Chains A and B, each alone.
Chain A
């Protein structure tokens, strides 16, 4: 089991989610985050105040998957989130010690395998 953490541009979120659903990835958690990754900073002006936005808006995805789902998941995010410019983000794959499904108490492989009747 792995935890895939991806940081992407907010404007590609819909494309990434669409790609993930096409890759049969059913469980995902997202959060709106801010970060800095070497991209050109946006300069904004408010009356006499000029500011450089050093933190860019990003979206972080967290996806717990079984081992054979790692490659398709990474490929889906990589394709959908790439614009080719600095600031496209990162994908990190982390080892996971245990995963539990709270509703049933199932753990590990079973916990990240969607039930067939729930996926329809």
Chain B
């Protein structure tokens, strides 16, 4: 083991964990005030049950030796996952680092179903989805599964995380159905600064996500780090131009979206391509996502926060461009079209298609099974009131006017006369 590697992976794990609450703010700013807590909670709660399941079973299904399709059960219950070396870091740390990926991938899906899916049904869904979809797909690419054998390049999870979540999001948006106001009334973001804050924190966390995927404090980690800085900046620059040409103004929500699209696109490529190529990759990736967003808003598909356009289109573009730009001189092995290995693009396409198909189909089955036990969505009435109050019994923004204290059973509330002398005492 190597202490520098351990140090960097400890930091990376913490950085990636921060991305999930950051995603909560990114998403939370884009919904209406009455659903702000519900939306942020959809991300935050992934840190609870999904992490528990990851430790108990998910990690084993993803990384234990098994078949090409799914890992075995030898690491279930963290059996044998101790401080012995896994690569150059302790096995338990590797498990924790990979766990942060499972957490955020599950949370990403929430963007497609915010403002109408019941919270209980959502929790049941992400827990089942992480075990049934995320863990096997991670095994395919990183656990020695069939996509790894096929030679698919996915440095930090373009297919495993982003295409995977986006395919689930597309199906979830269709199964749960659109919000009752969608396409009828304007639904505006209630706090754009939250969204920018979330995008900024995501970018910061993404350095752990991509550079941490080198699994050590290595030159490849430095390459992934630099590419994680350059690609989104190019996306942001091109997005700015597209915004200016199309609307004459540079939008804040657009900037936040561009940052995420650039980060998504560079994810599969981060440790494989030259820094200059990552500028090109980021710049190119802006275009399909930009127009996918515009197109989506004209359809009946209420993928409310555009998980498909940002993560699906961005992730697929990044995965394919990895097949174009991968450069053995930088990556130390993998090469793509530009270095004479045109076939890599087909391998990349194969990996995207496999993840897309399995994730979509399995998501459909999971949601239909949950729907047998409990309703997936809130009624029109509770949707109107907002899910903060109906599902959580809290409000994001309340001055507390007119709130009457209900004292715990057996304790009488102090009367105004009793408390009045206290107020005078405090003033003097």
Which residues in chain B, 172-192, are within 8 Å of chain A measured between CB atoms? 181, 185-186
Say which one of A41-49, A60-68, A95-103, A111-119 lies at the interface with B. A41-49
- A53 beta carbon closer than 8 Å to chain B: yes
Number of interface residues of A (CB under 8 A): 24
CB distance from A84 to the nearest CB of B (A): 10
Identify which of A11, A55, A83 contacts B402 (C-beta below 8 A). Answer: A55
Which residues in chain A, 40-92, are within 8 Å of chain B measured between CB atoms? 41-46, 48-56, 83, 85
Identify which of A36, A45, A85 contacts B393 (C-beta below 8 A). Answer: A45
Q: Closest B-chain residue to A45, C-beta based?
A: B393
User: Contact: A14 with B404, CB < 8 Å?
Assistant: no
- B424 beta carbon closer than 8 Å to chain A: no
Q: Closest A-chain residue to B399, C-beta based?
A: A34
CB distance from A50 to the nearest CB of B (A): 4
User: Contact: A53 with B402, CB < 8 Å?
Assistant: yes
Q: What residues on B are CB-neighbors of A85 within 8 Å?
A: 381
- CA A83 to CA B400, docked complex, whole Å: 26
- B418 beta carbon closer than 8 Å to chain A: no
Number of interface residues of B (CB under 8 A): 20
- CA A44 to CA B386, docked complex, whole Å: 14
Given A44-B394, A45-B393, A46-B394: A12 touches B384 (CB 8 Å cut-off): yes
Binary A-proximity of B397-423 (CB < 8 A = 1, otherwise 0) = 000111111101000000000000000
User: Contact: B384 with A52, CB < 8 Å?
Assistant: no
CB distance from B210 to the nearest CB of A (A): 38
User: Contact: A53 with B403, CB < 8 Å?
Assistant: yes
User: Contact: B389 with A42, CB < 8 Å?
Assistant: yes
User: Contact: B181 with A43, CB < 8 Å?
Assistant: no
CB distance from A118 to the nearest CB of B (A): 23
- CA A36 to CA B404, docked complex, whole Å: 13
- CA A42 to CA B389, docked complex, whole Å: 8
- CA A8 to CA B185, docked complex, whole Å: 18
- B391 beta carbon closer than 8 Å to chain A: no
Q: What residues on B are CB-neighbors of A45 within 8 Å?
A: 393-394
Given A54-B402, A55-B401: A11 touches B384 (CB 8 Å cut-off): yes
CB distance from B165 to the nearest CB of A (A): 30
Q: What residues on A are CB-neighbors of B405 within 8 Å?
A: 49-51
- CA A85 to CA B177, docked complex, whole Å: 26
- B395 beta carbon closer than 8 Å to chain A: yes
Q: What residues on A are CB-neighbors of B384 within 8 Å?
A: 9, 11-12
Q: Closest B-chain residue to A53, C-beta based?
A: B403
User: Contact: B389 with A44, CB < 8 Å?
Assistant: yes
Q: Closest A-chain residue to B386, C-beta based?
A: A11
Which residues in chain A, 6-46, are within 8 Å of chain B measured between CB atoms? 9, 11-12, 14, 18, 34, 36, 41-46
- B338 beta carbon closer than 8 Å to chain A: no
- CA A13 to CA B273, docked complex, whole Å: 53
Q: What residues on A are CB-neighbors of B181 within 8 Å?
A: 14
- CA A56 to CA B401, docked complex, whole Å: 9
Q: What residues on A are CB-neighbors of B394 within 8 Å?
A: 44-46
User: Contact: B401 with A11, CB < 8 Å?
Assistant: no
Chain A interface (Cβ < 8 Å from any Cβ of B): 9, 11-12, 14, 18, 34, 36, 41-46, 48-56, 83, 85
In the assembled complex, 16 residue pairs joining A and B whose CB atoms fall closer than 8 Å, in A order, are A9-B384, A11-B385, A12-B384, A14-B185, A14-B186, A34-B402, A36-B402, A42-B389, A44-B389, A45-B393, A45-B394, A46-B394, A50-B405, A52-B406, A54-B402, A54-B404
By Cβ-Cβ distance, the 8 closest A-B pairs, closest first, are A55-B402, A11-B384, A51-B403, A50-B406, A14-B185, A52-B404, A54-B402, A54-B404
Known interface pairs A45-B393, A54-B403, A55-B402; 6 further A-B residue pairs with C-beta atoms within 8 A, sorted by A's residue number: A14-B185, A18-B185, A48-B408, A50-B405, A53-B404, A85-B381
